[in-house]
Chain A
């Protein structure tokens, strides 16, 4: 009932999503070119931090990601780019099994996510949390250690120490006891990052960490990420600012309802792929997706 809107054929039916005006269909540059998607067939599955195969995701029966095939190599800072609604956050959530998959699977170092939870650190979008909750920055960061602590027990002194260090690392040491609603956007983002650091993960999944954040915070965050990369960790970042892609990321994944490209930034991030990712809507694809949804809803 939440998506009721007024349309000619019925007051209460959900409005069709996206723009309706027929935009010119994307022009494909050539006849069947090999997709610029670099997989790692020669590497052993246990050494691949993230491998996704044949994954299709549907929100309420409407496909948002079609048939994703991806390998993410170890020790890289990976950027995921694409227009809004392209499925970037969805892909991250799907890796963690937070959204159901219509098909396919995702593996972390060859194993399903449930078995590898400990080594995956997740930094969500800032809107996903209730910032009025009465806890301090330090307590939020300590939550990152809960996976190590276990039911019924309290975090140990060492856990709290790790949290303090993580806060210091992101430059928030003096705000440790501040209640989180008293922090600015950039500070909140840093607290989230500290939490992921405290978790001491091997693979980091970050959803738009630079959104709405000041330049100083952004620089600080990217420094930390590069440090993590130097330690051999793998970091996936959903990113929204195309200007900084070549500067920040050595591997890039370009999404628009399906994977357009995935590979080293210098090789894969170019005008052609950008056009395919951002240039115009895949009207037929969206229409087909809508047709699926309509049929499920009994309107077809």
Chain B
């Protein structure tokens, strides 16, 4: 495989391992604890280096897991026993441990080959050079082996303990009642996160690991309502960020890890806008659609009410638009849609007229409105109070609902204001 290939593979492995576990952090509202963990394992790594005097991975994992668990314990302890607010607790613990790590590294840096900047933002570009030599055979880059192992472990962890993780995250109370030890799950998860972050350090460094932990899961959360799907999407997003990050860094001549995070951020930003249902665009569209429908209805209603009074009025375009009482553009759009539906017709002299179908539809709306008024009046709302609510509800009363309400109100055919309720059929 080419150098680029190894680099991208390493990135993918790191990002996907993190995304798997990080999604649970996001859902458990422990994103900042994950952030804290990734910083707080630094002294663990430093100590592991001093003891093993090498960059062997196992001591690093042990060091990381130890300090990860220590962090979790201390945060709990400060919060529960010393009454420190939880977020302050996290802040105190991770900064203290991180500071300790930096001091240890800088003091003993000469003795061990460990560059604090490298730890912080890693250098994934050197991946292919860092090969695994075993029995004098080159088996490929060491980080790839390590991260593959971590990925497999994480897959097993999430796969086997899926229901325990879900239960403990969703309802710790029931978890206890059912016999699943939520605290144990918590510590196991934190331990796994610690190990994963350390494994990813070499590639992307401490601070950016956090992004790989929480951004994919949070982004996926905008796209789906099912946990399994969210996990899947998060993993895919992680992979995309690795590939995209590599090429972006080449383009901008910058750190690959940073570029990966930028890609993640961009994916997140785009998702906020375009995700179906959760995205801002989607919500704006559905709001817009509603407004247009309401505008159309108001135009029809206004024109139909006029015909009731007997006088056939000619509607100038402008007046018809005014019936919608919305922004002129919206009104114009509504009018165009009405013409498209064949409910109004534009005459040669630029006046607007109801078609037969339009009149029918208008009467239907009017019937709905007046039925509702009558119904509310029956419930005890005074006459002059019913018009407003009817005005809002009328747009939602389809035929079956109208029938139902029609059955509930007295059949004298008049609404509380004394106006006639149009009949069910296409009455005139």
Contacts and interface: CB of A to CB of B under 8 A. Distances in A.
B171 interface: yes
B176 interface: yes
A259 interface: no
Contacts of B230: 134
A2 B85 CA distance: 7
A70 B80 CA distance: 32
A294 B177 CA distance: 33
A96 B173 CA distance: 10
Contacts of A39: none
A51 to B, nearest CB: 19
B221 interface: yes
A147 B178 contact: yes
A134 B27 contact: yes
B15 to A, nearest CB: 21
B414 interface: no
B238 to A, nearest CB: 18
Nearest to B170: A133
Contact of A130 (B170, B176, B179): B170
Contact of A1 (B83, B169, B177): B83
Contact of A149 (B83, B84, B163, B166): B163
Given A117-B177, A122-B177, A179-B225, A154 B163 contact: yes
A154 B159 CA distance: 10
A129 B171 contact: yes
B227 A122 contact: no
Given A151-B164, A152-B161, A122 B225 contact: no
Given A136-B226, A146-B178, A154-B163, A128 B170 contact: no
B235 to A, nearest CB: 15
Interface in A116-142: 117, 120, 122, 124, 128-130, 133-136, 139-140
A155 interface: yes
Interface string B151-168: 000000000111110110
Given A133-B169, A135-B227, A1 B174 contact: no
Interface residues on B, range: 20 to 34
A134 B221 contact: yes
A124 B166 contact: no
Given A124-B173, A135-B166, A152-B160, A146 B180 contact: yes
Given A96-B177, A134-B27, A1 B171 contact: no
Contacts, number: 70
A1 B84 contact: yes
B405 to A, nearest CB: 19
B85 A122 contact: no
A122 B221 contact: no
Contact of B167 (A122, A124, A136, A143): A143
B177 A120 contact: yes
A33 interface: no
A contact residues, range: 20 to 34
Interface string B82-107: 01110000000000000000000000
Contacts of A133: 27, 169-170, 227
Among A117, A128, A130, A143, max chain B CB count under 10 A is at A143
A149 B173 CA distance: 18
A98 interface: yes
B377 interface: no
Task: Tell me what chain B mostly uses at the interface: helix, strand, loop, or mixed.
Answer: helix
Contact of A124 (B161, B174, B224, B227): B174
Interface string B48-69: 0000000000000000000000
Given A134-B27, A134-B230, A146 B170 contact: no
A149 B174 CA distance: 15
B379 to A, nearest CB: 16
A144 to B, nearest CB: 8
A129 B170 contact: yes
A256 to B, nearest CB: 25
Contacts of A136: 225-226
B22 to A, nearest CB: 15
Interface string B173-208: 110111110000000000000000000000000000
Interface string A82-107: 00000000000000101000000000
A96 B230 CA distance: 34
A105 B163 CA distance: 32
A33 B207 CA distance: 70
Nearest to B228: A134
B173 A98 contact: yes
Contact of B224 (A2, A134, A149): A134
B225 to A, nearest CB: 4
Contact of B226 (A122, A128, A134, A155): A134
B220 to A, nearest CB: 9
Given A98-B176, A117-B177, A135 B170 contact: yes
Nearest to A154: B163
B141 to A, nearest CB: 33
Contacts of B84: 1
Nearest to B164: A151
A120 B166 CA distance: 21
19 contacts: A96-B177, A117-B177, A117-B178, A129-B170, A129-B171, A130-B170, A133-B169, A134-B224, A135-B166, A139-B166, A143-B166, A143-B171, A143-B174, A146-B163, A146-B167, A149-B163, A151-B161, A152-B160, A179-B225
Top 5 A-B pairs ranked by shortest CB distance? A179-B225, A147-B178, A133-B170, A152-B160, A134-B227
Interface of A: 1-2, 96, 98, 117, 120, 122, 124, 128-130, 133-136, 139-140, 143, 146-147, 149, 151-152, 154-155, 179, 195
Given A96-B177, A140-B170, A179-B225, 7 more contacts: A128-B171, A128-B173, A135-B166, A143-B163, A151-B161, A152-B161, A179-B226
